[in-house]
Amino acid sequence: MAAKSSILTQSNQVRRAIVVGGGLGGLMTVIKLCEAGIPVDLLSLVPVKRSHSVCAQGGINASVNVKGEGDSPYTHFYETVKGGDFLANQPPCKGMADAAPGIVFMLDRMGVPFNRTPEGNLDFRRFGGTLFHRTAFAGATTGQQLLYALDEQVRRYETLDVEDDRGVTVPGEKMVRKFEFWDLAGLVLDDSGVCRGVVAQDLKNGEMRAFRGDAVCLATGGPGLVFGRSTNSVINTGSAAAIAYKQGAIYANGEFIQVHPTAIPAADKLRLISESVRGEGGRVWVPKDRKDRRHGRDIPEAERYYFLEERYPKYRNLVPRDIASREIFRTVIHEGYSAEGEQAAYLDVTHLCKTAAGKSAVRKKLEGVLEIYEKFAGADPYENPMKIFPAVHYSMGGLWVDFEKGADGSLKPGSARNQATSIPGLYATGESDYQYHGANRLGANSLLSCIYGGMVTGPAMAAWRDAQPQSAFDLSSTLFDTEHKRRVDEYAALGSRSGSDYSVNPYQLHEKLGEMMLQKVTVERHDAELDGVLSSLQDMKAQWRKAAALDPAAKGTINQPTVFLRHLDGMLALAEVIARGARDREECRGAHYKPALDPELHPDDPKAVGRDDARWLKTTLATFDGEGPALRYEAVDVSLEPLAKRDYGKVSAAKPPPGEAAAQGPANT
């Protein structure tokens, strides 16, 4: 019996789809599935309201043209692919930019408390990567507010009954069942390689359980923890994506890791200071005297070096993130400038706060961000320039997903191919996919891509489900029992790692991994160092096999150290994908930068090719060969707009800038 013909199995089991991950991408997927009448099991590492989407600060892009500047979704599309150094497939980006105004209106209807104009309309602010006011925002905690809105809608579906095909309520069954504090342990693949469900673990008691699903989506976020400390939440290990990769899913463009220019260094994580701070007028500088040890506020204007403004007179402080991060890195690390003698630069809003009215305006728009600086750095950012340094922030790469192009050249909504990974029946969305940002993400495009991805994934999963001749719920239980047993045994083996054979502390191993990746695979990449990283990763994988379960006696209860072993295994696998992709890509593109190939540094070296479209306008595809990644490449769909030089020194002539300052920096979200 085809799955579409019945919500219930003969034994009255509800046929459900599975979404793993409860951030913006996952929740939007759930909402779309429910609207299509498909009940969902939603699995999440944390209560979905605590997902990493809360960390997005600055806003969400949508060309509503509310200020009458002549902005359009097409311009947004173009700036997105240009910001990504033309590595993104253009049809999905076009689909996203076209859908953006409708997405912001939907969020507004859901009750997101967006900032308003005096007329009561949505207010939009300037962000990097554009000349227009295109970013809707709710204070400086926009991601949190968007997540809460979707969380609330999904909570409503937790109260709505499942109805059978005749519209009769199925007793006790709700449209959404949440499994919070559950961790993905494996995918259930049938003999033809189709994903039929997952095995997941209840982190409260260690219980492993197989879930059947007529389509499965991973919306499990990025792998920021591979770099140890980053702007990411501590749950962002990439474990679920790594499990899918190890079970055959293609991981694409892993080497493209966004380093955000402005974060506060600390021992546990690097906290983001939103690009909206620069969007609202914040300036980046260092003392002109490299030996200057005075407090930032005591250094007179004439003794400050506004290096971004000098080097990029048009885009000034809002050059794209990859460029700003490289400039700060270069200025501080190579040129030896500092902030109070520390390896940092200043991000300064104090000039906007000289009057009470100015300070109040800054507070209304940026309070959530500035309060992070105040709380964690312990200094008042309204009075003191903030000390910042670049930090790993976002992975443009992720699970490879497909798309179907419509007659208009844009993504074709409703196709089962959209957001489909290389494993049939398995979908991916949000930061865990690779689709929308090319080689560098524009600020305030991540919230958009998560929600757009979800809007596309739900209908794609519904179409897939309807096209299957046999439902996962009609398959023999052997398939599920086998994967279940495999994962139970695997976990038991991890949990029994004690004694002298297991001398490695997994948290220390993680620290080593993070420090190495942070030093050698971020802003500047050198082939010799990458070779060293790849070799060290082999050693670290061997050490992982000696890593101990630090709490082997804890069974039937929370056991964070043992679960961490699984996540660390995934991080090591993705670290190798990232480093291998970086080593093999012989060009500079977006966030991937090799000084040896930079023609500005080596004008006379024919090998310093910069961006090399002839050879490298290609998506990196990594597959797991049993040991590590095997790479191949596929062409990028650039069917809508021709490639252009990505030059932020000269403003594109396509549109005259509204006003003088041309901001092209990815804003922070």
Partner 1 sequence: MATDTVTLKIKRGESGGASRWEEFRVPRKPMMNVISCLMEIQKHPVTADGRGTTPVNWESSCLEEVCGACTMVINGRVRQACSALVKDLSPKGEPITLEPMTKFPRERDLVVNRQRMFDALRTTKAWIQIDGSHQLGAGPKVSQDDQEVMYPLSRCMTCGCCVEACPNYNDRSDFMGPQVISLTRLYNMHPSGRMQAGARLDALMGAGGISDCGKAQNCVQVCPKGIPLTESISVMGRETIKRALFGWLLKG
Residues with a known catalytic role: 321
Biggest alpha carbon distance in the chain? Answer: 79
Question: DSSP labels for 303-341?
Answer: GEE-HHHHH-TTTGGGS-HHHHHHHHHIIIIIS---BTT
Is residue 187 within 8 Å of residue 200, measured between CB atoms?
no
Q: Which two tokens stand for residue 493?
A: 């083996």
**In 3D, which of 325, 299, 382, 312 has the Cα closest to residue 348?**
382
Side chain identity at 220, as an amino acid letter? T
Q: Considering beta carbons, is residue 3 or 550 the nearer one to partner 1?
A: 550
- Beta carbon of residue 155, minimum distance to partner 1 (angstroms, whole number): 6
Quote the CA–CA distance of 599 and 518 in Å, as a whole number: 25
Q: Name the CA radius of gyration of the chain, rounded.
A: 24
CB atoms within 10 A of CB 112: 21
The closest alpha carbon to 350, from 337, 359, 341, belongs to: 359
DSSP 134-150: EEE-STT-HHHHHHHHH
Q: What are phi and psi of 105, to 5 degrees?
A: -65, -40
Q: CB 647 → partner 1: shortest distance, Å?
A: 35
Give Cα 44 distance to the centre of its chain. 16
**Closest distance between partner 1 and the C-beta of residue 197, in Å?**
25
Residue number, 102 or 248, with CB nearest to partner 1: 102
Nearest in space to 531 (alpha carbons), one of 495, 582, 462: 582
Place of tokens 């591979």: 226
Phi, psi dihedral angles at 639 (to 5 degrees): -75, -10
Q: Which residue has the tokens 């507070």?
A: 363
Q: Return the number of the residue (57 or 90) whose C-beta is nearest partner 1.
A: 57
CB of 435 to partner 1, least distance (A): 20
DSSP 3-state percent helix, strand, coil across the chain (nearest 5): 40, 20, 45
Phi, psi torsion values for 292, nearest 5 degrees: -65, 125
Least distance (Å) between residue 541 CB and partner 1: 20
Minimum CB distance to partner 1 smaller for 247 or for 343 = 343
| Distance from C-alpha of 608 to C-alpha of 587, rounded to nearest angstrom | 8
**Which C-beta is closer to partner 1: that of 158 or that of 310?**
158
Q: DSSP characters for 232-250?
A: S-TT---HHHHHHHHTT--
Nearer to partner 1, 233 or 331 (CB): 233
Please, which residue, 35 or 634, has the CB nearer to partner 1? 35
CB of 6 to partner 1, least distance (A): 24
Q: What is the sign of the dihedral through the CA atoms of 129, 133, 139 and 144?
A: negative
Residue number, 266 or 644, with CB nearest to partner 1: 266
Closest CB 558 distance from partner 1, rounded Å:
4
Q: Which residues of 592-619 are buried (b: 16+ CB within 10 A; e: fewer)?
A: bbbbbbbeeeeeeeeebbbbebeebbbb
Minimum distance, C-beta of residue 158 to partner 1, in the bound complex (Å): 6
